[in-house]
Structure 1
Amino acid sequence: MRVQLEPAFVLHRRPYRDSSLLLEVFSREHGRQGLVARGARRPKGRWRGLLEPLQRLRLSWSGRGELGTLTAAEPEARRAIAGDGLYAGYYAGELILRLTARADPHPELFDILDSLLAMLADGADPGPPLRLFERDLLAEIGYGVPLTHETDSGEPVRPDAAYVYHPAHGLRRGARAAPGEIPIAGDALHALAAGDLSDTGHARAARRLLAAGLAAQLGPQPLRTMQTLRALRRFRHSEES
């Protein structure tokens, strides 16, 4: 198989043999791919400084099986993402890495990631865009959180009513949550469905709801980006105290 100048993001990279890189990339039309970038770590390698995570590139590769060979790389959009936005971008990339299969195309998810990274580069507060990314990611892989209708009855969600959500059983109306259920107000569900998390209460409720939906798919292995962020926050707290 030969792919020519496909829009893609590098999600993860690590050294491979003496001078190469092993890449996990997310491409628009071919999904996640494992690629070997031969000679990419040489001081005068042709891809030196180009294969950076979260930068939009155009990549060409060839080969069959689990690993392809990178044959060309061109920059498409240079974005400077810093601070909490950078952690948010790495978090989004790790979710794609964990929750999508290789060679399974998700062009809409690629566009959603592209839009998220553009907002983070513009300095947007990472919280609301990340919640919408989580919402759309779960929907794209077939495990969307029900936001507009109750799961069993099919009744529309009322903004003035209380609801509970369970990742295995869905959404039902009720004010008392059983073990494993997440309580959430109807107006917060409406806000998340509409993509409007300007209200801080709605944003917090969306975070709890989506965290439960993601946890059911991720399993017990923690996300590395979240571990790093928690460690950094503990360090900052110790420095300030």
Structure 2
Amino acid sequence: MKEQLYNFYILHQRKYKENSLLLSVFTRELGKVSVIVRTNKKTVNLYQPLVELRGQISVAKKADSLSKLYNVEFVASCYQKSYINLLSLQYANELLYMLLSHSHEEDILFSKYDFLLKNIDENNYKYLLRMFELELLESLGQGIYVDCDVDGVPIDSGFRYVVLNNDFKKCLNAELNTISGASLLKINQSISAWSETDLKEISKVVRAFVDYVLAGKQLKSRKLLIDYLSLKK
């Protein structure tokens, strides 16, 4: 029986025995899956992050076995981007690799990731990263819900709030790290509805939720991204 063809992206790779690579790949149909692929001098450079590939995957029948990848072909590269875009994409890649569990369908998340890779530019990268992070949090069961605050009171656009243990608490003082209720209520709206102020405030919220899920894990790509943005100020 011929195995199904899958479009996929590589999240991580390492050498596995002689002439083989162990890859963590991300597909629409299978989500994140570990596969082994045989390589040679002609094909080894094909297996890089931020490159869309297509191939057949023989899914392992047992939990302790490796799925096999073969008949791989190139589809598209996302490497021809500016440095800030590449850092942003590496950050998205690292988030998926570190946080996503294995072996379940990820149709919506894959679509958002694919859209991010193919459409990011220097004008929209902050917006598209927030869109991707919000969908990833949703996929992880950590979606941001802004109907009510920690006391069960509906979020009010006229008040400001602080993030408290992945919830929101009304704040009577307009402190630096507070977020306006008006921006909070836009979190789950289309990013086209966000103003620059909304983006800045929503970014604070998303960062807090992502940090909570990371549970102290450090992302190399995030540090590079923050350092680069600091130099540009």
Fold equivalence (TM over 0.5): yes
Counterpart CA distance in 2 for 1:191 and 1:126 is: 18
Question: RMSD in angstroms over aligned alpha carbons?
Answer: 2.8
Q: CA deviation at 1:197?
A: 6.8
**CA shift in 2, pair 1:74/1:131, >3 Å:** same
Q: What is the total number of aligned residue pairs between the two structures?
A: 226
Amino acid in the other structure paired with 1:74: E
Match of 2:27 in 1: 27
Residue 202 (structure 1) aligned to one of 178, 198, 202: 198
Residue 178 (structure 2) aligned to one of 176, 183, 187: 183
Counterpart CA distance in 2 for 1:66 and 1:111 is: 28
Any stretches of 5+ residues in structure 1 without a counterpart? none
Q: CA deviation at 1:231?
A: 5.8
**CA shift in 2, pair 1:38/1:198, >3 Å:** same
Any stretches of 5+ residues in structure 2 without a counterpart? none
Q: TM-score, normalised by structure 1?
A: 0.81
Q: CA deviation at 1:49?
A: 3.4
SS in 2 for 1:29: coil
2:142 paired with 1:143: yes
Counterpart CA distance in 2 for 1:151 and 1:230 is: 30
Q: Where do residues 74-113 of structure 1 align in structure 2 (5 Å cutoff)? A: 74-79=73-78, 80-113=80-113
2:158 paired with 1:160: yes
Counterpart CA distance in 2 for 1:183 and 1:66 is: 48
Amino acid in the other structure paired with 2:170: R
Q: Which is further off, 70-79 or 104-113?
A: 70-79
Note the alpha carbon deviations across 1:159-188, whole angstroms, 9 max, x for none. 2221222234x22333359xxxx6210122
Identity across aligned pairs (percent)? 26
Counterpart CA distance in 2 for 1:232 and 1:14 is: 27
2:47 paired with 1:51: yes
Amino acid in the other structure paired with 2:83: G
**CA shift in 2, pair 1:62/1:2, >3 Å:** farther
Contact preservation (8 Å) 1:148, 1:193: no
Q: Which is further off, 26-35 or 202-211?
A: 202-211
**CA shift in 2, pair 1:66/1:217, >3 Å:** farther
Amino acid in the other structure paired with 2:75: E
Q: CA deviation at 1:113?
A: 0.4
